[in-house]
Amino acid sequence: MTTWPTGVPGLAWGADYNPEQWPEEVWAEDVELMRRAGVNLVSVGIFSWALLETSEGEYAFEWLDRVLDLLHEGGIRVDLATATASPPPWLTTAYPDVLPVRADGVRFTHGSRQEYCPSSPVYRAKAVALATRLAERYRDHPALAAWHVGNEYGCHVARCYCDRCAEAFRRWLQRKHGDLDTLNEAWATAFWSQHYSAWDQVLPPRVTPTFGNPGHLLDFDRFCSDALLELYVAERDALRGITPDVPITTNFMVGWTFDALDYWSWAREVDFVSNDHYTRSESDDRHVELAMAADLTRGLAGGKPWLLMEHSTSAVNWQPRNIAKQPGELRRNSFAHTARGADGTLFFQWRQSRAGAERFHSAMVPHAGTETKVYREVCEVGAEYARASELVGSTVDAAVAVVYDYQSRWLSGQQAHPTADFSYQDTVFALYRQLWDAGVTVDFLPPDGDFSPYELVVVPALYAVTDADAQRLADYVDGGGHVLVTYLSGVADERGHVRLGGYPGAFRDLLGVWTEEFFPLRENEHVTLDDGGVAGVWTELLHPRGAEVVASYADGPLPGVPAVTRNRHGGGTAWYLACGLGGDGLRRVVDAALEHAGVPSAPGVEIVRRRGRLDGEAVSWLVAVNHSAVAAEVAAAGVELLTGARVDGPWVVPAGAVAVLREMV
Ligand code: GAL
């Protein structure tokens, strides 16, 4: 099985290429400018359905033939889209029930993009037919490097509530629960008179007077992720039957806001993981959030190289205020992804559109042309990528793992919880931020991942956990591992039912504590700990049962009650963070857990180590990204690949710069 776009020399560099937006005269110039910029891979045809199948069953591939031929002559490889991300107006006009329906019953119309219902048999058949036609036509095209199925599944329409989805949901529930008694039990339908006596009473969670049933909502989230995955798999299998050696991917959206898909299950179905990441342009922490998304993407890829399918050269057009990137930021962003395992970074898009909804979104070739900060930087970084090409295929070193769980994210984000101020993503990020500041690279794992290679496993808000996964974590600690678990972990089982006998249910014994009641804080309220730490959002009435108290509340609703504990469990240690600690207080806990686990900190410039082989020899590289306005000095020796300089002793990484050092071992 081929697991990387074929024929790409070195690190991939390129963009979404949408030539259909331009007259054909522009295409030759595009290829010329791509060559100047070092572009070696482009995604073509993502939104081309309406121009490839101009009416039902009428195909027009000639323009795409010419595009692919031109790219091939220019030495540029193609990640060819199946073009199914947006059905054309003829399709939704002829078959209106392809259009998805919102929870309030409103049916979307065409005129934007991604207007399809995942359960529509017409959409599925038409999408598979187009993918099949493309595969048959381009199976032997020399430019074909990979398949790009759909685009960002679930980006705009992650859930459809139509009658067809209701039927598909029931079938999914029948497969999962078997019979209605089991479903009634799983959803606790004895509550609020929700007991189902026939399958056709079960609907998608449409608009209801007040809070929906948590089990119903959770299963619908799972169903919607699976329904879109089935669509992807249908296209993938059609392609695979025709081009078994061409690797297949679809671009994920691992980032800050999107949470509709359980990417752990999706990652198993792609030949290589690809991701789209856009920084939060107004945030000062955007480079740290980028690092977290990149590490999570590498986790989804199982540690193997992954592709950044899209990011932006400068501003996007869909945030409230779209801040342009600073000089050097495009380079830092690209290499930060590459440091964390991306063997290539592509942009949305090649040439900035002059019309259409994304005309103010940056691109590799801006409206203003090539004499610009952006195009110059694009060319420079393209050349640097070529110099760093030996990184390809190497892996990333990490001694710490963070458990990331989409089911817990969904469940903990439901309404009718102890506080609206809790956010799964904020909780993960607060811990990640401390690890990033400490210069510690982390891997992300699913709750059923293999903890054994790590010195420390961080478990943020693992709200719902199976008995088996809880046991595996306990066994890991028993065997000498170290864990740091936060509040709102272990509270529920995989159905979302609260575990009785005190929180944090599944982890009480491991952590050596029990909590009798949650004490969330008022909006903007803070409590102080006796070591000076400050916590917001969450506290709880906790009792040690074997654990030693690391810090207690000095004020607030629970003075004297433990806030941070540490428990010896077998050969290892289990820390419990029972409150929404931030700032220095959180830093102290994370530093102590790192030190206790024997993980060295290296605060300062962002450095990630990749390991691999060069000419048969084991080699390591340090990729450094200096986000600060001052030069950094690092003790290291080797050859800096971007400049060719030999380094022995202090390695100076200039302010705002990026450097890649092949270490002397
Ligand atoms: C992505 C999408 C692209 C483009 C881009 C703009 O979500 O895949 O087609 O819309 O965002 O940032």
Q: Which residues make Cβ contacts (< 8 Å) with residue 615, sequence separation at least 6?
A: none
- Report the alpha-carbon distance of residue 244 to residue 397 in Å, rounded: 32
Ligand 1 and 662: CB distance under 6 A: no
Phi–psi pair at 196, nearest 5 degrees:
-95, 135
Supply the residue whose CA is at minimum distance from atom 4 of ligand 1: 348
Residue partners of 189: CB distance under 8 A and separation at least 6: 183, 195, 196, 213
> Is the Cβ atom of 30 under 6 angstroms away from ligand 1?
no
User: 267-281 in b/e burial notation, b at 16+ Cβ within 10 A?
Assistant: bebbbbbbbbbbbbb
Query: Is 29 annotated in the active site?
Result: no
Compute the CA torsion angle 365, 334, 113, 160 (nearest 10 deg).
180
Look up residue 402 and give its amino acid: V
Q: Ligand 1: does its nearest atom lie under 6 Å from the Cβ of 361?
A: yes
Q: What is the pLDDT of residue 665?
A: 62
Candidate list 115, 235, 289, 310, residue with the active-site label = 310
Q: Is 152 among the residues known to form the active site?
A: yes
**Residues of the chain predicted below pLDDT 50:** none
Ligand 1 site, residue 152, Cβ cutoff 6 A: yes
Position 185 scores a pLDDT of: 98
Identify which of 446, 342, 341, 449 has the alpha carbon closest to the alpha carbon of residue 398: 341
- Distance from the CA of 316 to the center of ligand 1, in angstroms? 9
The whole-chain average pLDDT of the chain stands at 97
User: Rounded distance, CA 579 to CA 271, Å?
Assistant: 41
Nearest CA to ligand 1 atom 9: 348
pLDDT at 649: 86
pLDDT at position 1 is 77
State pLDDT tens for residues 150-200: 999 999 999 999 999 999 999 999 999 999 999 999 999 999 999 999 999
User: Does residue 348 have its Cβ closer than 6 Å to ligand 1?
Assistant: yes
Q: Is residue 316 in contact with ligand 1, taking CB distance under 6 Å?
A: yes
CA of residue 293 to ligand 1 center, whole Å: 17
Q: What is the pLDDT of residues 302-337, one digit of tens each?
A: 999 999 999 999 999 999 999 999 999 999 999 999
Residue of 53, 152, 289, 390 with catalytic role: 152
Are 380 and 392 a contacting pair, CB within 8 Å? no
Q: Which atom of ligand 1 is nearest to the CA of 278?
A: 12
Query: For atom 12 of ligand 1, which residue has the closest CA?
Result: 316
Q: What pTM did the predictor assign?
A: 0.98
Helix H segments across 112-262? 121-138, 163-177, 180-186, 214-242
Distance of CA 348 from the midpoint of ligand 1 (Å): 6
Nearest residue CA, atom 5 of ligand 1? 348
